[in-house]
Amino acid sequence: MTRLPQKYSEVEASSEASLLQDGENSEDQPGPSAVRSRVIRNTRRSKLKTRIQESEGKPQSFQIAINITEARQLVGENIDPSVVIEIGDEKKQTTVKEGTNAPFYNEYFVFDFFAHKEVFFDKVIKLTVMHSKMLRSFCVGSFKLDVWTVYRQPGHQFINKWAMLTNPGDISTGVKGYVKCDISVSAKGDAMQPGQKASDAEEQIDKNLLIPEGFPAERPWARFCVKVYRAEGLPRNNSSIMANVTKAFIGDNTALIDPYVVVSFFRQVGRTSTQKSTADPVWNEQIVFTEMFPPLCQRLKIQVWDEGSMSDVAIGTHHFDLRRISNEQDGDRGFLPTFGPAWINLYGSARNFSLGDDTGELNEGIGEGVSYRGRVYLELAVEILSGGTGSESKLSRMVKPVKDVKAGKAGGKEVKAAAGGGGGGGGGGEEEKGKGAAAEVLPVESPPALDADNKESFLLFGVLLEATMIDRKIGDRPISFEFSLGNYGNVLESVAPPTIASPALSLRRRELDLPDANMASSPASPTSPLLPREPQDASTKTSRPTTSPEKPLIVEGNRYYMYLPLEKQKPCVHVVSHWEDRTYRLYNSNMLENIAVLFEEGVASAAELHRKSDPSAESLLRTVLRDFCLDARSFIAAAEAKLKAELKSNYLTQLDKKRLTMCKQELETMIGEAQSTVEKKRKAGGVKEMLQEATKLTQRLRFLVEEPQHTVPDLFVWLLSNNKRVAYARLRTRDLLFSSVQEAQGVDCGKIITLFLK
């Protein structure tokens, strides 16, 4: 066991109910044949996670090198063009060439950055051709892409490519010209791979555009609509100086925050109106961006801000990876980016409400959040527009027409950029500081499903087995542990009482029960609910999220560390929380996770045998691939049964249905490739080639595991010293989720977990 020389604790989650919803039924779980039982090993202890600190969370040195070679086919007469390069706050410009539509530059520029990795990769590289005059310069056209797009290319670079210039302000004017350039991204000390340049005589601009492989040469324009409906559970108190002064006068029960939402996408920024003095705001507004599709941008950022009298403060940040909410494949397999309507959970700094809080960058999406900061209910849709640089493509036929909404300003306020947006730790918020173009903000109706949502009860149960390696600096005061899911269990937050599940929800659950669900009626059945549906006296639902404070003792033989004396009595904790019943997403992820884990272990074992020149490596690898095919077919059967059982249900989002179909289709493709690999005849280097193909399959399978639509928030375990937060551990909810189907259980459900607190 690897231990961090600071502090850690061991927690056991009950195998009967690590995280069990009220009246768990089989419509949210697969049948027993979903994944073969060989996948799950019945062990009492979870696999030790030896990676404690994330090195990627520290700022690093990066370099972007751009060579502007030439430009061609620039529109206009008698122009004096120059190329302006913008990356974040930095701007550089080529020399001005007079009286030409095809200038030649061959100028080299280097940009150095020291920033967090996630902040740096979200930066946008913008090339703008300017017609320079004595008094005023005019924009001929521009091109932009983010650093992520460049970094994901072979060698982290584009070589000898033509950037197509357009005018985002007038999408009907078409192409404005082309700029030939090289763009490369590297960390400090990386060796750059020289690219092969084609001869000018053989080069064709339209076949050598600066776009990733697989992107169409003619990209249509599209409208990206982010519909922000409401938020709940936001921190009720602001940590600014003025807010604390106000708090002293009006008391603790008043929500002092004035929240609004800022959406940033590809240097465009839009924001909702501000809702005054509420931790549960309702907006019902949509922010519309116009951009070419597919965009040369990987992520879309959602931020909730608190409007202050002196400066605005970030509450929480969430990033949408567009690859996870869309499918770029052609034909019926592909679908446009879509999301929700669903909740997204926000994480950030702890809710200490202290003046000296130095973890504000966590609220801006930099680093791992250490506390739940509320959640936002929103929806994302994309509409392909006809015209622009290309005619209406087959992508436009994937989406239905969007209903017209009356134009107008959100809440009667001008759309403005958030003040102080994301500055610290690498300057990742240049778009929020007013440099990005403003998006269109329109009112939108609340979805019917929002009003009909009913929450169900979930029970978290855990046992603290031991707590050791506690730093003596914090051991001179009583120590306790806090377990929280969202605001439930958080000693600093109060949660409103839940609503009772409606008869309509119960009827829907009964209608979708699979045949083997009748066993749940028995009190002794493992699927019988731990939390009855009928309303009970409040005392029976009281949670106990914290352990009793206890003074630690010094470890014998080591006076630097301490431990809690828990040999005779192990403290138990339980938290009752209330969330929407969307656990079917977590069950699907857990089944895919179990398939992926066994597949990866089998491939790793075969690779180890091959490294030792063991002749049995090939036969083992073929067996692993065959077993993967059987497991994948079992999941496909479960997914098809799920879709068939819920075709008439209205609680599944468009992304739920698309993801199930995508997983089914992708697994079918992977099965075909795995079978082809197994059936290959042995030849020189055959095992090595088979291992490479199997490794690629594991990577594709891993991509399917993560669910972009959130459900129950992550679990936070906090070490409290004299009621002050000292260290924490964060666990994913799906890793603790209980299911009567063993293959859908979380990997840590009912097992002893060693937590290294950070």
DSSP codes of every residue in 411-448: GG----PPTTTT-TTT---TGGGTTSEEPEEEE-PPPH
Q: So what's the pLDDT on residue 670?
A: 95
Which residues are 303's β-sheet partners? 262, 317
Q: Which residue has the higher pLDDT, 571 or 201?
A: 571
Q: Which residue has the higher pLDDT, 507 or 571?
A: 571
The confidence band for 415, taking pLDDT boundaries of 50, 70 and 90, is very low
Q: So what's the pLDDT on residue 704?
A: 94
Residue 452 has pLDDT above 60, yes or no: no
The confidence band for 80, taking pLDDT boundaries of 50, 70 and 90, is very high
Mean pLDDT of 393-419: 38
Q: Which residue has the higher pLDDT, 733 or 437?
A: 733
What's the CA gap between 690 and 675, in Å, rounded? 11
Q: So what's the pLDDT on residue 476?
A: 84
Beta strands in 22-103 (DSSP E): 60-72, 81-87, 90-93
Tokens of 496: 């409103």
Considering Cα of 354, then 358, then 359, then 365, what sign does the dihedral take?
A: positive
Tokens of 296: 């040369």
| Check whether domain 60-207 has CATH 3.90.1150.10, yes or no | no
Q: Which residue has the higher pLDDT, 217 or 286?
A: 286
Q: Are 130 and 145 in contact (CB under 8 A)?
A: no
Q: So what's the pLDDT on residue 315?
A: 94
What's the CA gap between 445 and 281, in Å, rounded? 15
Q: Which residue has the higher pLDDT, 196 or 321?
A: 321
What's the CA gap between 260 and 26, in Å, rounded? 39
The top-level CATH class assigned to 585-705 is mainly alpha
Q: So what's the pLDDT on residue 41?
A: 55
> What residue type is 279 in one-letter code?
A
Mean pLDDT of 135-156: 91
In angstroms, what CA-CA distances link 505 with 475, 527, 634, 653, 710? Answer: 49, 18, 29, 16, 20
At the fourth CATH level, the homologous superfamily of domain 221-425 is C2 domain (2.60.40.150)
Q: Are 542 and 58 in contact (CB under 8 A)?
A: no
Instruction: Enumerate the domain spans of the chain.
Output: 8-28+36-55+469-582+712-756, 60-207, 221-425, 585-705
Which residues are 609's β-sheet partners? none
**What is residue 309's DSSP assignment?**
S
Q: So what's the pLDDT on residue 499?
A: 42
> pTM of the predicted model, to two decimals?
0.83
Highest mean pLDDT out of 9-13, 134-138, 540-544, 619-623 = 619-623
Residue with tokens 């249509």: 220
Task: Check for a shared fold between 221-425 and 585-705.
Answer: no
Strands 221-232 and 81-87: unpaired
Least confident of 304-318, 342-356, 567-581: 342-356
Q: So what's the pLDDT on residue 340?
A: 82
b vs e for 12-39, b when ≥16 Cβ sit within 10 Å of the residue's Cβ?
bbbeebbbbbbbbbbbbbbbbebbbeeb
Q: So what's the pLDDT on residue 681?
A: 62
Mean pLDDT of 445-459: 76
In angstroms, what CA-CA distances link 150 with 122, 153, 192, 254, 458? Answer: 11, 6, 14, 48, 44
Least confident of 4-18, 335-349, 712-726: 4-18
Residue with tokens 């926000």: 346
Model confidence pLDDT, tens digit, residues 420-449: 333 333 334 444 444 456 789 999 998 876
Q: So what's the pLDDT on residue 401?
A: 38
What's the CA gap between 104 and 93, in Å, rounded? 14
> What residue type is 229 in one-letter code?
Y
Closest CA to 362 of 431, 320, 316: 316
Q: So what's the pLDDT on residue 650?
A: 72
Q: Are 31 and 638 in contact (CB under 8 A)?
A: yes
Tokens of 666: 């992708």
Least confident of 181-185, 379-383, 409-413: 409-413
What's the CA gap between 303 and 261, in Å, rounded? 6
Mean pLDDT of 309-332: 88
Q: So what's the pLDDT on residue 23?
A: 43
Q: Which residue has the higher pLDDT, 653 or 20?
A: 653
Model confidence pLDDT, tens digit, residues 225-282: 999 999 999 998 765 545 555 555 555 555 679 999 999 999 999 999 999 999 999 9
Q: So what's the pLDDT on residue 34?
A: 47
Residues 6+ apart with CB under 8 A from 615: none
Model confidence pLDDT, tens digit, residues 509-540: 444 333 333 333 333 344 445 555 444 444 34
The confidence band for 197, taking pLDDT boundaries of 50, 70 and 90, is low
Q: Which residue has the higher pLDDT, 525 or 182?
A: 182
Mean pLDDT of 348-353: 75
Computed over every residue of the chain, the mean pLDDT equals: 79
Residue 381 has pLDDT above 60, yes or no: yes
Highest mean pLDDT out of 3-12, 36-45, 404-413 = 36-45
What's the CA gap between 219 and 168, in Å, rounded? 13
Evaluate the omega torsion of the peptide bond into residue 294 and state whether it is cis, within 30 degrees of 0: yes
For the chain, the first-to-last Cα distance in angstroms comes to 17
Residue 621 has pLDDT above 70, yes or no: yes
Q: Are 28 and 493 in contact (CB under 8 A)?
A: no
b vs e for 223-258, b when ≥16 Cβ sit within 10 Å of the residue's Cβ?
bbbbbbbbbbbbbbbbbbeebeebbeeeeeeebbbb
Q: Are 182 and 64 in contact (CB under 8 A)?
A: no
- Residue 154's region, left for phi above 0, alpha for psi from -120 to 50, else beta, is beta
Residue 370 has pLDDT above 60, yes or no: yes
The confidence band for 55, taking pLDDT boundaries of 50, 70 and 90, is low
Q: So what's the pLDDT on residue 751?
A: 92
The HSE-up count of residue 496 (CA atoms within 13 Å, CB side) is 12
Residue with tokens 């690859």: 323
Closest CA to 668 of 380, 333, 331, 407: 333
Q: Where does 580-616 have alpha helices with state H? A: 584-611
What's the CA gap between 461 and 14, in Å, rounded? 6
What's the CA gap between 202 and 210, in Å, rounded? 17
